Structure 1
Amino acid sequence: MYRKIVFIIAMYVPLVGMAQFNTDRLVTIGRSALYYEDYVLSIQYFNQAISAKPHLYEPWYFRGVAKYYLDDYVGAENDCTQAIERNPYVVGIYELRGLSRIRQNKFDEAADDYIRALKYSPDNQSLWHNRVLCRIQQKNFEQAHLDLDTMLARWSKYARGYSMRAEVYMLQKDTARAVEALDRSLELDPYDGSTWAAAAVISLSRSEWQEAEKRLDKAIHLVPNQAGNYINRALARVNRNNLRGAMSDYDTALDLDPNNFLGHYNRGLLRAQVGDDNRAITDFDFVLGLEPDNMMALFNRGLLLDKTGDLHGAIRDYSKVIDRYPNFWTGLHYRAGCYRRLGMTRQAETDEFRIYKARLYKSLYGKQPRLNKDQMRKRSDEDLDKYNQLVVADEHEVEHEYENDYRGRVQNRRVDMAFMPMYELSYEQHRTEVKPFMAFDSQVEAFNSKVRMSDRLYINCVPAKLDERRSAVYFSRIDSLSSVLAHDSGESRRSSLLRRAVAYSVIQNFESAIEDLSAVILADSTSSMAYWQRAVCRSKMETFEASQGIGTSEIASATVIADFSAAIRHNPRCAYLYYNRGNVYASCKDYVNAIEDYNRALVLDENLAEAYYNRGLVCLKSDRLSEGINDLSKAGELGLYTAYSVIKKYSKK
């Protein structure tokens, strides 16, 4: 009996270790997929880890991160709650759950998360910052001031702290103190666009139009993609009689935020003012699509339809407004005019008689006045006598920027000028925007001639992100190839291993891919495709490990370069291999070798737009601005249009 127990324990312990190893590997692969923005795929790996080890907090937490990126804030919150139940001492989980709750406007619960997180990390500035913003949303101004006192005592040169204090003062209607706090914030950090925008709001509230425009100029220069800043600057420009500039601002704002109510409404008024009636009608059509019962927009559209000869449409709009407001004499006056022009005398006289009776109590309104640029109405103000006034928000809301590691997408946290990615082997046919034909290599084509159509491999620069259905296809493909490999041998085995490695690569399981590719190379040391794909997998693993602060990048990069060099030895006419190796040199800041490899790639394929783009970036980083801009221009000419934004940035220099 004793021997049986010992034997059972001895058998069980390795299984426990194996299960733990498999779970750790699933989490690692899931985190890698998360880093490379394959959020749906990463969730599947974390699901498997949760099924295997539901008591571990990490799979729950990282699945919550993936859901946050997919805008599933409810799911992210629930996963964070599960993670906290398993480990209540990890600050990052509270931070992520707080952000998820903020996205759902659960500011009380988010503030509670930050309170708990600050118990474990009291010197975390971003947690204090976010808790203050939650206090502001809760309108708990007293506590917000107390938190800001603590923050500014610890970090006296924290500019955003003063700008948040200014916001609290503004909400408390204490403009003088708000101005002092903003001035201090701008003194510490004159490059914060949101602070300039907040200062501009104060100028607008004081009708200091010129000062408001100057401040908004600076805000837009620093934060060019904020629609609200253009809306506010348009308001200042209208009041300075710069109608052309105001119209341009409304156009830009609506390019950035096509559903912006204020932008469409005010641009409609402005277009009516300058006689652009048909396009003004289009704006009011859009506004009424957003708010079908907006009487102001309905009446303004009626006036424009009246002017452009659509009398039946005008009567329809006037009638809806008059049904809601029977004593709106201006509306009756214009509707009577439409009836007269249509020969509908009885209806016209009925409206005119109602107006005549009103004259006993009130003088007639007269002709429609022009757009009164000196007057504005709040959006919630439904006084129809103000139908021709520009609309402003009920309160100028500050767009809060919560400090976190999850701001925007993963790609937005990378360097400003990112290199185009490597070419790799894939099952996905991907015709990029750069060229209408597929990337070609003679050795890949020779490989494809020996396999079925469904097993063909392609050269891909930007592999598509997988959804759940496509992921299942790849897992099934791997299982099928594993079954084949159990009794395969010779060239057929090498082919199956290579194809399984590519499938592993697609689902971000780089470690298993590298094992299969190493087996191919061991059996055939001249396989350029195996060296190629192994180098790509190693490069991706290196990038992910570097983002996690692990691994030795110099050694890893040398290994990747060695694999690409081996691939080039056995396939020296492949432009993509030189391009890929150039990318590795560029990432190591070895710009001389990078440019040399890009040059070789372009000799072999003069239409390789990504090589022009990356060589252009390397030149810019080497202070060779003229050459860099020329290369970027060529990349743009070949269809890589993102090059133009970089050109615009560096042409000024």
Structure 2
Amino acid sequence: MLGNASHALLDFEQAITLEPKQTQAYKNRGNIHLQLGNQQSALEDYDRVIELDCKDAEAYRYRGNVRLLLKDFQGALEDFERTLELEPDNPEAHNNRGVVYLNQGKYQQALIEIERAISLNSNFSQAYHNRSKIKALQKIPREALVDLEQAIKLEPTNIEAYKDIIQLRLSLGDSEEAIKHVYQLIQANANFGSENPEEKEKIKQVFQLNPKTSQEHLTRGCLFLAFRDFAKAIEYCNKALKLNSNQIAAYHIRALANASLKDYQAVVADYSELLKINPNDFSAYKLRGEAYYFLKDYQGAIQDWNQALVLNPNETEIYANRGFSYLKVKDFLKGIEDLTRAIKLCPNHPQIYQIYLYLGSTRLALGQAKEAIEDLERAIEVNPNSIEAYNSRCAAYCVMGDFFKAISDLDKVIKLNPKLIESYCNRGYLYAQIGNLPKALENYELAINVNPNHLDAYLKKALVHIDLKDYHKVIEDYNQAIQLKPNDAEIYYGRGWAYLQLEKYQKALEDYSKAVELNPKYADAYSARGYVYEISKDKLKAVKDYEISAHLYNKAGNEPQYNQILNKLKQLNISELKDN
């Protein structure tokens, strides 16, 4: 930023060289000098403007501002008075003249000027801030708070207003509200981190303190929390608590810092200490519940949120969070009840998308596909680009047997992310289910184009080729699969089956033998190899494989297959099955 200002300064100097009587160039250069901290140079430029045009109200106001910074109150007052002679309804001049009176201790005169500024411009943030200072000095803190709230509303990045309102809240014991302002400060000034050192240093100067009291240490802790310097925030909260162990706000601020560091055990400890001091602190139960949730202590979270809801029964965020926790502990009915209650209390809940998404997924798991679809449609209305919602609704349509709508949802998923391999595979499977085998193959090929090493695509493509009775293609698919997973018995079994259909018995035997080598308990592979031996007229080997498969089927409790093998053995004149 300073580099840009320096470049601008050169530009304005060039403009003045070319046109020495251009007043706007002097004013602009003066503003840049002021930005760079060169107050004397700024004064000289404003003096030059007034010398060229003694009726330039803006130049008087600018010069008055510099004199105010230099604590030349009389000079500043003269400049603002001259501004108002030229522009009687200039709100900035009235405000700044009020600031001069404020610095001179003339509070009533200051109040008149600043209220005049507000009457001229009801959106004048700095005027509200200045009036709050007068109200605070007049010992009317609640009126000061109203003005500070308005100043922040009009200018959400007004750091000085945040400093004043945080300190004032803490002095009044409003720790809850002070913490809310910390949140606002963090949100409104997201660039407080080390990536913007100039801004950080500016804010440090605004909050510059030499903390001695517990409250001053705590205010400093608030600042560092906003800076996201959590270690420093904790350090100042520790100092505040050392001076006053009952400083509730210090536990809150320290807990927030610990939460940002993901030290949720420390968060639990802080709120537990706070609750010893104030057993009815709603925020403590709410936020300790969140810490328990992150620690995956869902029952602990539920207990804290139960207590929080006793204190505030209409807190929609807690119903939603407790609902999510109930789902985590598999109490689906209570989870659905809480999430539904959250929607009823707040149809525009900040987590409304997640609520509908979780409701839909839960109802799908409970077999309530129709209701799941309704919830997932609401989730998609809120977030039309939710891949997760489309995938879940696709699954619900599959349960309902509506494969065409399921395919439509996968179309949307693929449009949102063309690199999702599983979506192509799933869409291919659905096309196969409705008998559109060419489209099924097309989708498996698309999956392979995205990732040539995707095993599932080759396996599913092989199944489609089986339906098409294209056994040569089946073998090609299984060849690719074996390259990717050479020790999978089922793939060898599948390729062996394809060779069998082509009457390539030796190849089939080799694959079935490899399958039983990889999995000696593979009953289907023994049965299939036995069949190949049987049609190859090798009765002894056929009988041996059938006996092994029968034993394995019997052991697995697969009675139909066991009986089928017994019949084969009888056909081969084996009167008894040996007990293996």
TM-score, normalized by length of structure 1? 0.41
- For the pair shown, the structure with the greater C-alpha radius of gyration is 2
Larger relative contact order (C-alpha < 8 A, sep ≥ 6)? Answer: 1
Q: Which has the higher helix share?
A: 2
TM-score, normalized by length of structure 2? 0.46
